[in-house]
């Protein structure tokens, strides 16, 4: 049995559902957070394929992730698989801020690398 191929909408929904337009703990759970991080990575790699409306959805979800960064970081730490994958792979570039939620939560992430639309949510205004 062959699994269907994922499409842009699958990655978009995987990242946005449970996060935007409002935070929903019942949908976004500890066990799903690592998948959301990978979905965000894919969306970054295919940014030019997104419509303006889809880009705004992603940005809205990004803001919610940053508003809840401490909770999301705890979930990432809880998800041992995510931590193992992070150790096995080379560290992503710092510009891919979603891989550095631990540093953002600890306020150790360079603010100039965060997109300006995240500064207020991160408390850097």
> At a CB cut-off of 8 Å and minimum separation 6, what does 73 contact?
101, 102, 104, 105
Determine the Cα–Cα distance for residues 84 and 78; give it in Å rounded to an integer: 11
What pTM was computed for the model? Answer: 0.82
* C-alpha to C-alpha distances, 88 to 48, 74, 76, 85, nearest whole angstrom: 29, 20, 15, 5
pLDDT at residue 116 in the model = 95
pLDDT at residue 1 in the model = 40
Reply yes or no: is the peptide bond before residue 21 cis, omega within 30 of 0: yes
Please state the rounded mean pLDDT for residues 74-85.
66
Q: pLDDT-based confidence at 44, cuts 50/70/90?
A: very high
pLDDT > 90 in the chain, percent: 34
Q: pLDDT-based confidence at 2, cuts 50/70/90?
A: very low
Task: Examine the pLDDT at 13 and tell me if it is beyond 60.
Answer: yes
Task: Examine the pLDDT at 74 and tell me if it is beyond 80.
Answer: no
Q: Contact at 8 Å (CB) between 44 and 68?
A: no
Task: Examine the pLDDT at 21 and tell me if it is beyond 70.
Answer: no
Residue matched to tokens 């994922």: 6
Q: For the chain, what are the domain ranges?
A: 8-122
């Amino acid at each position: 049995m062959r699994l269907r191929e994922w499409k842009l909408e699958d990655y978009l929904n995987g990242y946005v559902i449970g996060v935007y337009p409002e935070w929903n703990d019942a949908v976004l759970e500890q066990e799903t957070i690592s998948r959301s991080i990978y979905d965000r990575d894919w969306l970054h790699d295919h940014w030019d394929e997104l419509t303006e409306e889809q880009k705004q959805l992603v940005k809205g979800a990004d803001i919610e992730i940053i508003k809840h960064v401490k909770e999301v970081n705890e979930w990432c730490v809880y998800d041992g698989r995510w931590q193992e994958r992070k150790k096995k792979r080379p560290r992503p570039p710092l510009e891919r801020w979603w891989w550095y939620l631990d540093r953002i939560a600890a306020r150790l992430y360079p603010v100039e690398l965060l997109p300006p639309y995240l500064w207020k949510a991160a408390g850097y205004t």
